[in-house]
Amino acid sequence: MPHRPNVTPTTRHVVSINDLKNKEIDNIFELAASYLKELPDPTFSYRIGHSTDLASRYILATLFYEPSTRTRLSFESAMLRLGGKIITSADPATSSAAKGESLADSVRVISNYADIIVIRHPRDGAARLAAEYSSIPVINGGDGSHEHPTQTLCDLFTLKQKNKTLKNMNVAISGDLRGSRTIHSFVYALARFGADITLMPAKGMELPKHVDARLREEFGYVPAPRSTYENDEPSIDAFYITPEEPHQLSLIPNQNLVDVNIRIREKLEKIDVVYVTRFQKERWSEKEQHYPKIDAKFLKGPRYSQTSVLHPLPRVGELDVSFDTDRRAVYFRQAAYGVPVRMALISLLLKLHKNKSLQRFNDGFEKSDHLVYSQPVDVGVQCVNANCIVREPSERQHAKNKFYVIGSKPPHKCKLRCVYCETDIDETAAEHFVFADRSKGHYTMDIRWLQEAAQEKMKDIVIFPSESDAIAEGLHSKEDRAASTHWRTKSAS
Of the residues 11, 47, 52, 70, only one is catalytic, namely 70
What are the angstrom distances between the C-alpha of 231 and each of 40, 226, 270, 305?
49, 9, 17, 21
Helix axes 70-81, 149-162, angle to 10 degrees: 70
How far apart (Å, rounded) are the C-alpha atoms in residues 333 and 270? 23
- Least separation in angstroms between CB 62 and ligand NCD: 13
Residue among 71 and 401 whose Cβ is closer to ligand NCD: 71
Phi and psi torsions of 310, nearest 5°: -115, 155
Stretch that binds ligand NCD, among 208-216, 266-274, 312-320, 392-400 (CB under 6 A): 312-320
**Pairing mode, strands 273-276 and 238-241:** unpaired
- For ligand NCD, the binding residue among 13, 108, 121, 148 (CB under 6 A) is 148
Report helix, strand or coil for 74. helix
Which segments of 277-328 are extended strands (E)?
308-310
What are the angstrom distances between the C-alpha of 456 and each of 177, 273, 416, 429, 435?
41, 50, 20, 30, 15
Stretch that binds ligand NCD, among 98-106, 200-208, 311-319, 413-421 (CB under 6 A): 311-319
Residue among 90 and 371 whose Cβ is closer to ligand NCD: 90
- For ligand NCD, the binding residue among 192, 263, 278, 438 (CB under 6 A) is 278
Residue among 48 and 241 whose Cβ is closer to ligand NCD: 48
C-alpha angle 429-178-329 in degrees, rounded to nearest 5: 145
8 Å CB contact between 489 and 455 = no
How far apart (Å, rounded) are the C-alpha atoms in residues 88 and 84? 13
How far apart (Å, rounded) are the C-alpha atoms in residues 158 and 152? 10
Task: Check binding of 201 to ligand NCD (CB under 6 A).
Answer: no
99 is annotated as an active-site residue: yes
Task: Check binding of 313 to ligand NCD (CB under 6 A).
Answer: yes
8 Å CB contact between 233 and 268 = yes
* Alpha helices in 350-446, H assignment, sequence order: 356-359
Of the residues 71, 182, 242, 277, only one is catalytic, namely 71
Task: Check binding of 292 to ligand NCD (CB under 6 A).
Answer: no
- Least separation in angstroms between CB 277 and ligand NCD: 6
- For ligand NCD, the binding residue among 137, 142, 201, 465 (CB under 6 A) is 142
Task: Check binding of 70 to ligand NCD (CB under 6 A).
Answer: yes
How far apart (Å, rounded) are the C-alpha atoms in residues 429 and 460? 27
Q: How many helices (H) and strands (E) does the chain have?
A: 14, 18
Each residue 149-168 as x (binds ligand NCD by CB under 6 A) or -, in order, gives: --x-----------------
How far apart (Å, rounded) are the C-alpha atoms in residues 118 and 138? 6
- Least separation in angstroms between CB 299 and ligand NCD: 20
Residue among 183 and 299 whose Cβ is closer to ligand NCD: 183
Task: Check binding of 192 to ligand NCD (CB under 6 A).
Answer: no
What are the angstrom distances between the C-alpha of 478 and each of 101, 427, 441?
43, 20, 9
Each residue 115-134 as x (binds ligand NCD by CB under 6 A) or -, in order, gives: --------------------
Of the residues 120, 146, 402, 417, only one is catalytic, namely 120
Stretch that binds ligand NCD, among 308-316, 325-333, 359-367, 481-489 (CB under 6 A): 308-316
- Least separation in angstroms between CB 146 and ligand NCD: 10
120 is annotated as an active-site residue: yes
Strand partners, 436: 443, 462
488 is annotated as an active-site residue: no
Stretch that binds ligand NCD, among 252-260, 307-315, 382-390, 414-422 (CB under 6 A): 307-315
Each residue 370-409 as x (binds ligand NCD by CB under 6 A) or -, in order, gives: ----------------------------------------
Task: Check binding of 312 to ligand NCD (CB under 6 A).
Answer: yes
C-alpha angle 401-16-214 in degrees, rounded to nearest 5: 80
Largest CA distance in the chain: 94
Of the residues 3, 8, 94, 99, only one is catalytic, namely 99
3 is annotated as an active-site residue: no
Task: Check binding of 182 to ligand NCD (CB under 6 A).
Answer: yes
Task: Check binding of 181 to ligand NCD (CB under 6 A).
Answer: yes
- Least separation in angstroms between CB 313 and ligand NCD: 5
- Least separation in angstroms between CB 196 and ligand NCD: 23
Report 453-482 residues binding ligand NCD (CB under 6 A).
none
Residue among 182 and 401 whose Cβ is closer to ligand NCD: 182
How far apart (Å, rounded) are the C-alpha atoms in residues 388 and 155? 26
Report helix, strand or coil for 449. helix
| Buried/exposed 422-448: b ≥16 CB within 10 Å, e otherwise | bbbbbbeeeebbbbbbbeeebbbbebe
Amino acid symbol at 209: K
- Least separation in angstroms between CB 171 and ligand NCD: 17
How far apart (Å, rounded) are the C-alpha atoms in residues 202 and 73? 30
Amino acid symbol at 58: Y
Task: Check binding of 336 to ligand NCD (CB under 6 A).
Answer: no
Positions marked active-site: 70-71, 99, 120, 148
Residues in contact with ligand NCD by CB under 6 A are 70-71, 142, 148, 151, 181-182, 277-278, 312-314
